Structure 1
Amino acid sequence: MTLSDITADVRGDRLRAALGDRVILEGDSGYDAARLPWNVAVDQRPFAIARPGSAEDVVAVVRAATAAGLRVAPQSTGHGAGALADTDLSETVLLSLAGLRGVTVHAETRTARVLGGSLWNDVLAATAAHGLTAPHGSAGDVSVAGYCLSGGLSFYGRAHGLAVNSVRAVQLVTADGSLVRASADENPELFWAVRGGSGAFGVVVSLEIDLLPYADVFAGMLLWDASRAAEVSHAWAAWTASAPESATTTLRIMNFPPLPELPPFLSGRSVVVVDGAVLETDAAADSLLAPLRDLAPEMDTFGRIPAEALVTVHMDPPGPTPAVSRHSILSELPPEAVEAFLATAAVPGLFFAELRHLGGMIARRPAHAGAVGAIAGEYLMHAVAIVPVPEALPGADAAVRAGIDALDSWRADALALTFVDGGGVDPAAGFGSAGERMRELKHRLDPKDTFAAAHPV
């Protein structure tokens, strides 16, 4: 009997025999809860869900899945679960790393060892006591591994580059069920590939990252009513054209319905916000922000804050949220592009449109980089729509697609892989010139295509 002849029941029995209560099959009482990603708008239905608690457990899961003729899809939180929309999971074990969390800080070398399911909040809590921080994103409950190994944009980015370049070593389980370490000196080809290829080359059980020497940072937000959106957006675009690499900021237009759980300054309003961080002295930061502050925002929270508080500045949702989003990289942001952005942002309902300032070190690839080391573009356009009920999904998806398409004239041939959260997106633009070598290594290191990655190689 070949693997293709094995029935679903037999496969399920083999998984159960090998993994016991570490696996949940369709029909089990906990299946529906276990398959839910952070983005609960995504309806992922894998053959089974495995919940390892150690690196050895991960080895057992990969070996049991392959022995049963099943693929493996690693997932830490499911923030980007929409990227799996084009992947058939009916013969795939969703390997949840949520139980594999822990951070060890080595202050003397300014590094940290982070287990594969750890969140940025875990890292920030551990590093704060040492006066250090990390190149995290705008949400603390995003996994370190998925974020870092798919690029990683932070408010430190223009000064320090993509988070993926902070990765020193990765420990992962490969397609043959081996637990290996990949670094510049050990398995260097795998180390190159996984820094950008992420879950396409194995299940990451830990990684070692460089930390940043900041105990505090000058950061915050400026907020205006959306009636000022045109004035503020054009001013921010002009300001970013000459802003130093020490400043990484985002412009957002946010539309909120009247909801009691929202603070009064947001509930039932549309607002325009500039937020971010400025890696300067207080005096230099104040001077740099003066042109934006001259526009008289109704709220101004910029100031010196503990570094671990930077993760709250962007006001990302604090818990699982059903949403659909799209993004593109822009090569420039002339006044005509700002006008197109303003037009697309004027969508009623719970809809956010944002522009993130890139460039600087984000656009410069360091010599030691892996497959992904930079993003060739000056701005990132991101459109997000909340999906309160499943019936709203088609309309929400159409709205964000239209928003991104409106700026097509300024689109660069690039992607930020951590912002891919929907089907129908070819990740090749995110891999750039590394794509051909990645595909060759994927064929050699995972010839049976064991791993179903959010960004397939």
Structure 2
Amino acid sequence: MSTDLVAQGLDQLTTDLDGTLFLPGDPEWDNVRRPWHLAVDQRPTAVVTALSTRDIVATIRAAAELGLRVAPQATGHNAAPLGDLAGTLLLRTSALRSVHIDAEARIARVDAGAQWMDVTGAAAKHGLAALAGSAPDVGVVGYTLGGGLSWLGRSLGLAANSVTAIEVVTGDGRLRRVDAAHDPELFWALRGGGGSFGVVTALEFRLYPITDIYAGVLFFPLERAEEVLRAWHSWLPSVPDEVTSVGRILRFPPLPVLPPHLSGQSYVAVEAACQLPVAQADELLAPLRALGPALDTFAVIPVTDLGLLHMDPDGPVPCHGDGMLLHDLSPAGVVSFVRSAHEALLSLELRHLGGALAPGRATGGGAVDSLDATFALFAAGFTPDAASGAAVRSAVTAVQYRMLPWSTGGSYLNFTERRRPGADLFGTGTYERLRQVKAAFDPGDVVRANHPVEA
């Protein structure tokens, strides 16, 4: 379509919106197009900041008529695989953050732009907890469509398995409410298959009667990384499903916003959340504490404070990261992991999986209802300039290359920040079924996702 006709169509869209349409050159352009990952340079045709479901419907219909695409985005975590967004309307849903808790039914209903910080506090007022991400400012919808790996995952499974209903605008501009009985194939695809099938306007999911949890971090000097992580790895077979833990190598930059024990310091750390009585958890942790941590932060905390446990950045940052799924490691694998921790990396972690995250544990799940792996690896670093960006990308690639002998060949969608073929992400059979759903509900490929499923 000609540039003039597109411009006329966007002018018409502006009059149909409760929100605002921004074009290149507008005073707020750089702010509204910027994702959470500040190193990603998004250059869409236009940006729509939605204030209603009506705005989402109007944007999709206009894009289809104008030969454009729509990329929904609440926070812009994991934005890198989207590319520069040429020929695309960036649909910002960040203003749509309403949360409703049905305490009796133990169900949360959240709008498209809700972040986990909006949900956890609201649920806690009723003595309930959600399967929230490790960072409070992660968008609920994107996290859940990608599977959703929480601190409660080994006992309660992926967050996508707790979804009970989804309201979504598909590529034809139709608002649908899908669940196990209504458009079940679309409901299946959205739970773990990513955002290729429509723009989610509301998500409903189960909550759990958890108020407090015993959680914390054991910090050790970085030079003890091999010793500590080998001990942690040996400790894992004794751990029940009620315990989720992470082995991690951390290098904190010298920033005044960080507490003194973190700013400019480097550690090997074991983080854990234990849904156990304190005495039982302490007995379980005793072998790790016997190593003599420099700092032990374990305490009974409100479940809402789990969002602080992983020490993720507080707000948008320039960064790059990527992950992979691993089989169980041999002792040599632990050594390779430690030796791959290049100084350019802020964080290199292994998240212990299994338990309710393992295949066969979920019933009635979606496209991704489990993770067939023992660990999820993620490596990341800050990239404030071109030189650091190159160093971090090289370091992340080196980690993945070094850990290939233990790779499952699969990926966890939310830890995958580089483009990968769909069959590699989902497996051939699941990907072909996802393609059929895409062809049925968005044959024109109007909706653009960071990890796309082709029609």
Same-fold call, TM cutoff 0.5? yes
TM-score, length of structure 2 as denominator length: 0.96
Match of 1:334 in 2: 330
* SS of match in other structure, 1:99: coil
Match of 2:147 in 1: 151
Q: Which of the residues 230, 248, 256 maps onto 2:244?
A: 248
| Distance in 2 between residues matched to 1:20 and 1:162, nearest whole Å | 35
1:202 paired to 2:198: yes
Matches within 5 A, 1:303-318: 303-318=299-314
1:283 Cα deviation (Å)?
Answer: 1.0
Q: Would the alpha carbon gap of residues 167 and 157 (structure 1) be closer, same or farther in structure 2, given more than 3 Å must change? A: same
**Match of 2:192, as an amino acid?**
G
1:215 paired to 2:211: yes
1:11 Cα deviation (Å)?
Answer: 4.5
1:14 Cα deviation (Å)?
Answer: 4.1
1:151, 1:162 within 8 Å by CA — same for their partners in 2?
Answer: yes
Match of 2:95 in 1: 99
**Match of 2:398, as an amino acid?**
A
* SS of match in other structure, 1:146: helix
| Distance in 2 between residues matched to 1:7 and 1:64, nearest whole Å | 12
1:357, 1:380 within 8 Å by CA — same for their partners in 2?
Answer: yes
Matches within 5 A, 1:348-387: 348-349=343-344, 351-365=346-360, 366-387=362-383
1:7 Cα deviation (Å)?
Answer: 5.3
1:117 paired to 2:113: yes
Match of 1:139 in 2: 135
Match of 1:297 in 2: 293
1:175 paired to 2:171: yes
1:155, 1:248 within 8 Å by CA — same for their partners in 2?
Answer: yes
Q: Would the alpha carbon gap of residues 357 and 69 (structure 1) be closer, same or farther in structure 2, given more than 3 Å must change? A: same
1:446 paired to 2:439: no
Match of 1:66 in 2: 64
1:235 Cα deviation (Å)?
Answer: 0.3
| Distance in 2 between residues matched to 1:21 and 1:451, nearest whole Å | 19
Structure 2: gaps spanning 5 or more residues? none
| Distance in 1 between residues matched to 2:77 and 2:195, nearest whole Å | 14
1:5 Cα deviation (Å)?
Answer: 7.8
TM-score, length of structure 1 as denominator length: 0.95
1:379 Cα deviation (Å)?
Answer: 0.5
1:55 Cα deviation (Å)?
Answer: 1.1
| Distance in 2 between residues matched to 1:119 and 1:371, nearest whole Å | 23
1:156 Cα deviation (Å)?
Answer: 0.6
| Distance in 2 between residues matched to 1:216 and 1:64, nearest whole Å | 47
| Distance in 1 between residues matched to 2:34 and 2:343, nearest whole Å | 28
| Distance in 1 between residues matched to 2:417 and 2:102, nearest whole Å | 34
Matches within 5 A, 1:259-274: 259-274=255-270
| Distance in 1 between residues matched to 2:231 and 2:446, nearest whole Å | 49
Match of 1:434 in 2: 430
1:274 Cα deviation (Å)?
Answer: 0.7
Q: Which of the residues 420, 426, 434 maps onto 1:425?
A: 420
Identity of aligned residues (%): 45
Paired residues in the alignment total 451
Q: Would the alpha carbon gap of residues 55 and 245 (structure 1) be closer, same or farther in structure 2, given more than 3 Å must change? A: same
2:112, 2:202 within 8 Å by CA — same for their partners in 1?
Answer: yes
Farther off after superposition, 236-245 or 97-106: 236-245
1:105 Cα deviation (Å)?
Answer: 0.6
Match of 2:391 in 1: 395
Match of 1:78 in 2: 76
1:52 Cα deviation (Å)?
Answer: 0.9
